[in-house]
């Protein structure tokens, strides 16, 4: 992509980023940057995020090198941050949207509707009509009822039949109980599409989010091949799109996933000239790119047990613990009046969120040093299904949490003079 300053320029010119400040960091400078935010904004005691756009670019490069045949359609539901969407758009990503609002967000960045798939197999009629109006012409279905809605409101739309993956690969968030045609339903659905004179241009599946049993992709691609064959036997126009869904894990496991996918594509679609392969990665790009800092707003000591309250929790960004089955970790950062933590004794600690519900418990028995009021706990890997699925319960407004933009790259930091070089966009 050229030298680091040019890379930075591409970042700051991206839609959703343009007009904002981006902090250029050393490779391992994120804790120092977070500390600088805390130190320079003395009035700041609210939680905040740091979105590292350098991580997003590095992950996009990983995707391009490992799965070059699969065009990514970023799953907006995972994290709809406009800066994240804008950088992905500038890098060449397309987008998986599930609602009118998500489509609007992507279009607001100047993205062509041809780069959007309306990947919701059960859509509200007003949302279908909106997609037709703005020119989003690719969607999914898995029922005759959905076909009837599409026939009525968007008959020119190209369709992908969503099939249930044979195996969810141990996904943290399996989807097969809600979406996907069963094998015995495929032929009747394809025939119904023929009768309605709708164009089924391919097959879609999703093994679920966060799985680690990568052979699930091989099984799903094999199942998709049988659907292609069924369509051919029915005399339908040749299918040309295979959507392999999402659920991809970021490095270090991604190379193994990609190898499995490539081998399966070669085995089941070896001579399919003109086949377009797309995917719907969400957490792959978002999870590790965002870090959250939370302030300690309360403390209680019961013998050796230390209990702390922070200003975000289970009903906010950390809902991922319940909804996404995430296992979170944190590190302490010193506040203005606290000693350094290096080498300090640790204690079994409980960390509560700010709401009045006892369910709002973030960590139990977690080893932490003795902390004080207004110290901070920093949570890495907070980009996937966090702010997007948070609530405003008890008046704690998840959607109001500020996001600071950063770009981590050793070469870039050297070129621009080091940590905390603020680039005016």
Element (H or E) spanning 6, and its range? helix 4-12
Residues linked to residue 117 through DSSP beta bridges, in sequence order = 96
46 — alpha (psi -120 to 50), left (phi > 0) or beta? Answer: beta
Beta strands in 313-389 (DSSP E): 331-333, 346-352, 361-369, 376-379
**Residues whose CB falls within 8 Å of the CB of residue 202, separated by 6 or more in sequence, listed in order:** 160, 161, 239, 240, 241, 242, 243, 276
Spatial distance between the Cα atoms of 194 and 203, rounded to a whole number of angstroms: 15
DSSP SS3 for 289: helix
Tokens read off for 196: 């309605």
Residue 356 to residue 80: CA distance in whole angstroms: 28
Please name the residue that has the structure tokens 């902390």.
371
**Residue 189 parent element (H or E):** helix 183-195
Q: Are 372 and 336 in contact (CB under 8 A)?
A: no
Q: Which residues are catalytic?
A: 356
Angle at 183 between CA 179 and CA 184, to 5 degrees: 110
The two counts, helices (H) then strands (E), for the chain are 13, 18
Spell 216-254 as b/e; 16+ CB within 10 A means b.
bbbbbbebbbebbebbeeeebeebebbbbbbbbbbeeeb
Q: What is the CA radius of gyration of the chain?
A: 23
Calculate ∠ Cα 14-19-23, nearest 5°. 80
Angle value at C-alpha 67, between 66 and 70, nearest 5 degrees = 170
């Amino acid at each position: 992509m050229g030298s680091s300053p040019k890379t930075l320029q591409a970042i700051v010119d991206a839609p959703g980023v343009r007009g904002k400040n981006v902090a250029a960091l050393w490779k391992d400078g994120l804790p120092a940057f977070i500390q600088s935010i805390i130190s320079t904004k003395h009035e700041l005691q609210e939680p905040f995020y740091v979105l590292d756009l350098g991580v997003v670019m590095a992950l996009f490069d990983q995707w391009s090198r490992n799965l070059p045949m699969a065009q990514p359609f970023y799953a907006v539901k995972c994290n709809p941050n406009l800066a994240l969407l804008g950088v992905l758009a500038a890098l060449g990503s397309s987008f998986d949207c599930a609602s009118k609002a998500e489509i609007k967000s992507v279009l607001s960045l100047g993205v062509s509707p041809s780069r959007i798939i309306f990947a919701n197999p059960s859509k509200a009629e007003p949302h279908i009509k909106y997609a037709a109006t703005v020119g989003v012409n690719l969607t999914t279905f898995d029922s005759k009822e959905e076909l009837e809605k599409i026939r009525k409101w968007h008959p020119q739309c190209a369709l992908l039949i969503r099939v249930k993956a044979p195996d969810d690969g141990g996904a943290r968030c399996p989807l097969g109980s809600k979406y996907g045609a069963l094998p015995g339903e495929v032929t009747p659905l394809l025939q119904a599409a023929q009768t309605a004179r709708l164009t089924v241009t391919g097959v879609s599946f999703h093994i679920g989010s966060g799985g680690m049993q990568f052979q699930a992709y091989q099984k799903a691609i094999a199942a998709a091949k049988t659907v292609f064959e069924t369509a051919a036997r029915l005399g339908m126009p040749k299918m040309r799109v295979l959507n392999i869904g999402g659920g991809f894990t970021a490095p270090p496991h991604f190379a193994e996933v990609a190898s499995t996918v490539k081998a399966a594509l070669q085995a089941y679609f070896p001579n399919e000239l003109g086949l377009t392969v797309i995917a719907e990665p969400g957490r792959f790009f978002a999870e590790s790119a965002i870090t959250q800092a939370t302030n300690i707003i309360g403390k209680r000591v019961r013998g050796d047990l230390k209990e702390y309250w922070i200003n975000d929790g289970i009903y906010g960004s950390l809902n991922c613990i319940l909804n996404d089955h995430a296992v979170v970790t944190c590190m302490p950062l010193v506040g203005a009046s606290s000693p350094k933590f290096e080498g300090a004794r640790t204690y079994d600690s409980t960390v509560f969120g700010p709401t009045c519900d006892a369910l709002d418990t973030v960590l139990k028995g977690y080893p932490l040093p003795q902390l004080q009021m207004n110290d901070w706990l920093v949570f890495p890997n907070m980009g996937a299904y966090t702010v997007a699925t948070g609530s405003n319960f008890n008046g704690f407004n998840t959607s109001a949490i500020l996001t600071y933009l950063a770009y981590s790259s050793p070469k870039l930091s050297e070129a621009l003079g080091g940590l905390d070089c603020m680039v005016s966009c």
